[in-house]
Amino acid sequence: MRRYTDPSRCRLAARVAVVLVRTAALASAAPSRPSIAFTPPGLVSPHGNPARRAAASYGPLFAARRPLTSTNVDREREAKAPKHESRTSSSTLEELTSSKFADLQVSRATKDAIRNDMGYETMTSVQAQTINVTVTGVDTIAKARTGTGKTLAFLIPAIESVVRSKPKAGKAKGVGCIVVSPTRELAMQIEEEARVLVGRHSPPLTVQCVVGGTKMQRDLNRLRDTVPDILVATPGRLNDHLWGEVPLLRGIVADLKCLVFDEADQLLDMGFRPAIESLVSALPNKLQRQTLLFSATLPKDVRGVADLVMNTKTCKFVDTVGEEVNTHERVQQHYSVSPLAELPVALVGVVQGLLEGGHEGKKIVVFFQTAKQTKLFASLFNKAGIPVMEIHSRLSQPARKRVSEAFRAGGGGSVLFTSDVSARGMDYPDVSHVVQVGAPSDKQQYIHRLGRTARAGKDGYGMLLLCPYEEYFLRDCEDLPLNEMTLPPASDGDMDMVNSAMASVDDKDKGDAYRAWLGFNAVLTKKNGWTKERIVAEGRDFAMVACGLDDVPEITPKAARMMQLVGV
């Protein structure tokens, strides 16, 4: 159990804990289905919905969870794969079936790598349902959740297509397979799996990964030295190599055998439709290659991309999800509204309150609106002596990889501050709580973030911290079980403790966070009803009240024009 010696922090955590212990008692007596027990007389909800206010059974949000244990079968599986940890995820273990990899009609080298290097004998449901279809070479759309073993589900048939076309001796003359991933972290995970899978093939198969945030010249040197059989890439960097000043890939993709899109719905959520159209135009015709598309959901825009990249006349559809209760419909969710000046201390109180009852079974992800806001609050917490990890687009790729691996491997009490690089695709095992600071850009983003918890049938809990000017977001979530929770008020001592830590944060980080805050909110004027003058006024409060700056940081003329704030 984490103990605090600073009196202010002890008082803050204690008050949060008292509120939560009381509500835990209500929760234990309430029905098992997460719901609101009653609404106290006179307490009226915003937007005319009394069910949104306080009396929710939100005690489990902060209650210590039962330590996770492995069955003897799980321990045996883990012991077989001491060097490879892709099945440390409890969601993957939950999906195991009795179908065996040994029964697949794939090459002996691939089977040997799966059994001897990965330590796997049985397939997950996703693998069992898709691989026998995809190894035939047919285009396939697979509806599959993250964390259920889908990486092997598309890598195995991709590798087999390369093996069938590769010369018996000599290096590859061209790239045989391209895997497109929405994020750098996910691309690197895929690369790691692929390297293990091809490790026993002879002649050897090569794997490379090209992602943004790394040096282009390093990519070019590696591609010139060795043409990869399998290339894993993010869309932007892939287009750099297809259409950039040195379009090296254009000359080595003419014989592409397999194209894979992983997390297709996330690719589109992140605005990659134009990038997909661009990269596909540089590749062989869709009738001359196999295309695999994996997606957790299949909205209209994903189906539209399928029409663009696949032979939809012969394409197979495999649904490994079926009808299920969505995460956002079964996770206990709460929100709290705090004045902007009290937002930092409110977040400190929530995180400390979550950890106060003991660390076992608690793994927390905290989402922020921007990368620079993530950096600001991570610095604040670490200055205050509350250790957190941070991951966002402003970190170098090696740093992001180290943080991602550390959080994946971390046990109870691990806290990750992140921007939306972690909202989808990444399979962080056993996340128990998701906290979102500030209004997400839309309801779908809120749901994606919440999907980091409550996986593999486990419980999960969500908390949304808003400022009064962000309450408009609640109108978009009327159909979600999102209930208000009143946090204990911050004392003068609490404020002093947080203000002292904020004072030691670099002013540059505060200024960067202010500019990012302006940029984020400038595009939301239709939702929050703000005038340009209101944006500037609220931004001033963010800089001087929340961040404690003496003056409002300057913004460049170019930034002012982009935010349409020139002359305000």
pLDDT tens-place string over residues 139-184: 999 998 877 899 999 999 999 999 998 876 556 679 999 999 998 8
CB 250 within 8 A of CB 169: no
Helix axes 300-309, 273-281, angle to 10 degrees: 10
Ordered alpha helix ranges (H), 52-142: 72-80, 90-94, 108-112, 125-134
**More confidently predicted of 29 and 66:** 29
**SS3 of 480, please?**
coil
8-state DSSP, 331: S
**More confidently predicted of 434 and 9:** 434
- Work out the percent of the chain whose per-residue pLDDT is above 90: 55
The chain-wide mean pLDDT, for the chain, equals 82
CB 357 within 8 A of CB 2: no
Which element (helix H / strand E) includes 497?
A: helix 492-503
| 133 pLDDT more than 60 | yes
Position 396 scores a pLDDT of 82
| 389 pLDDT more than 90 | yes
List phi, psi (to 5°) of 566: -65, 130
| 567 pLDDT more than 60 | yes
pLDDT tens-place string over residues 469-520: 999 999 989 989 999 998 888 788 888 889 999 999 999 999 999 999 999 9
Residue 425: pLDDT band by 50, 70, 90 thresholds? low
pLDDT tens-place string over residues 325-363: 566 677 899 999 999 888 999 999 999 888 876 667 789
Position 393 scores a pLDDT of 83
Position 492 scores a pLDDT of 84
Position 266 scores a pLDDT of 83
**More confidently predicted of 116 and 449:** 116
Sequence-distant (≥ 6) Cβ neighbours of residue 535 within 8 angstroms = 518, 521, 522, 525, 563, 565, 568
Residue 503 to residue 495: CA distance in whole angstroms = 12
8-state DSSP, 488: P
Position 10 scores a pLDDT of 54
User: If you average pLDDT over residues 452-480, what whole number do you get?
Assistant: 88
| Residue from 295, 277, 92, 97 nearest 182 by CA | 295
Residue 541 to residue 527: CA distance in whole angstroms = 20
Position 530 scores a pLDDT of 87
| 83 pLDDT more than 80 | no
Residue 77 to residue 73: CA distance in whole angstroms = 6
Position 9 scores a pLDDT of 55
Which single residue is written with the structure tokens 């600071």?
437
Position 443 scores a pLDDT of 87
Position 491 scores a pLDDT of 81
